[in-house]
Structure 1
Amino acid sequence: MYNQNKTEILQTIKRLPAYTKLLYRLYKDPVMTKKQKILLYSALGYMISPIEVVPGIIPVLGQVDDLIVILTVLKKVLHMSEEEKANLLLIEHGLSYEIIDEDIAISKETAKRFVASTGRILGKALILAGKTTFRMGKSVVRRTKKI
């Protein structure tokens, strides 16, 4: 299951150039409404802002949350566009609404798995640290009793 998710997220990452070109194309489109442009600006601002739900300095998770935001906004902006034009743009970039939905789901699953595995690792580290501290404490108590 983990390997399947790893393969899926790699496929999503391979589509990033197509998503970037599509975003740029939408941004440059003179027919875009003010609301659509604000949505695009907001998503791009979120990506580059140091103040995020998950900061970009956190490996993997920081990038995956940016990807989820960008793909969700991209889908919203496309839905706000004329249907025929949106479909042509998607086809032109080798994408579809289904692919975007799959990539959002894969990104969310990747984030969930990353948090779960990180939690397990941190939990084990805390247990080990607790046991070590307990042993050290017992040793100190024994030594002080001898004095």
Structure 2
Amino acid sequence: MLHPLIMAAGDGGRESVRELWMTLLPVLVRLPRYARLVLGLSRDSRVAPPQKALLAGAILYNFSPVDLIPSVVPVLGQLDDLAVLLFAVRSVVRNCPGPVAREYLCRCGLTARHVREDPEVVRRTLRRVVTESGRLAGRKIAHGFEGITTRHRAGFRQRD
């Protein structure tokens, strides 16, 4: 089940959510490939130590309880972690020797286009979820949480 803030996101309702997830799904399906890529690059002696440190930092960020958006925040916390990892991978692939990058991309079933575009897909998705969640929260505050509390008000009336 999707988070309630996601379900209400966008003017198109569920259709917007469907589009959002259909855009993100191919990136999520490629995550095991990215894991193999990170593992391979981090073990290769041809990859510079600072690049390996960047990968290690991204992995640590994903497991750290101290995040920009904590992982306990549904959807947003996971997208934040994914974005950090994919941007780190993109940077490392750009900065390692071309033959090394091509070798590992081929081994892992990824392309340079995936590595270039997937972080942007996650960034746009994260931005949209944050924006729409903020809009939803603003509307609920502006309208006195009518949509949320109507059921409770009716319950209070019935009891009185």
TM-score calculated relative to the size of structure 1: 0.80
- 1:43 corresponds, among 58, 68, 74, to 58
Q: Please name the residue that 1:139 is paired with.
A: none
Contact 1:61/1:114 (8 A) holds in 2: yes
| 3-state SS in 1 of match to 2:66 | coil
- Quick check: 1:5–1:106 contact (8 Å CA) kept in 2? no
Matched, 1:6 2:46: no
Q: Which of residues 55, 59, 65 is equivalent to 2:74?
A: 59
DSSP-derived class of the 1:32 partner = coil
Identity, % of aligned positions: 31
Higher helix proportion, which one? 1
Q: Which residue of 2 aligns with 1:142?
A: none
Structure-1 separation of matches of 2:26 and 2:123 = 14
The structural deviation recorded for 1:80 is 2.1
Aligned-pair CA distance for 1:101: 2.1
Partners of 1:105 and 1:33 lie apart in 2 by 25
Aligned residues: 131
In structure 2, the CA distance between the partners of 1:130 and 1:114, relative to structure 1 (3 Å rule), is closer
Which portions of structure 1, spanning 4 or more consecutive aligned residues, are displaced by more than 6 angstroms?
Answer: none
Structure 2 match to 1:137: none
Q: Report the equivalent of 1:117.
A: 132
CA deviation map 1:63-90 (0-9, x unaligned): 1111111111111112222101211211
- Does the aligned pair in 2 maintain the 1:50–1:56 contact within 8 Å? yes
Root-mean-square deviation (Å): 1.8
Residues of 2 paired with 1:18 and 1:33: CA distance? 21
Quick one: distance in 1 between partners of 2:32 and 2:42?
15
Matched position secondary structure for 1:126: helix
- Asked which structure has the greater CA Rg, the reply is 1
1:101 maps to which residue? 116
Query: C-alpha deviations, 1:94-145, integer Å up to 9, x for none?
Result: 11221122211110111111112211221122123378xxxxxxxxxxxxxx
Gaps in structure 1 of 5+ consecutive residues? 132-147
Q: How far apart in 2 are the matches of 1:7 and 1:81?
A: 31
CA distance in 2, matches of 1:118, 1:4: 16
